[in-house]
Amino acid sequence: LFKQPESNHLGDCTICCLPLPNDGKKTMSCCSKIICIGCDYANKVREMEGKLEQKCAFCRHPASNSEEEAVTNFMKRIEVNDPVAMYLMGGMKTGKGDYDGAFEYWSKAA
């Protein structure tokens, strides 16, 4: 009756503690937390209904308005040696064709 769902290799949502789906997850650039789309949606609905400023669902930091601002947030997380932020920055570097930079970030993350 009260059986919990099996966890997977992606881990659990940091808000609702349910296993993260393969395709429905979002990474917050301010705190590098990965949350499920359901929690992100619930937060957006709450903000729209209350006419509130958009903020991170986990840490309540104001949401990034541009990709440059998101990269700045990731760089702040990288300065404090956050492995998730380093891993994601490596993915961004790969998307831009900078494979040496990506390898450097992924090596630091490991």
pLDDT (average), residues 21-35: 86
Q: What percent of the chain has pLDDT over 90?
A: 48
> What does DSSP assign to residue 65?
S
Q: What is the pLDDT of residue 50?
A: 94
pLDDT of residue 94 exceeding 80:
yes
Helix (H), strand (E) at residue 25:
strand 25-27
Q: What is the pLDDT of residue 81?
A: 92
Burial class (CB in 10 A: 0-12, 13-18, 19+), 4: exposed
pLDDT (average), residues 50-75: 90
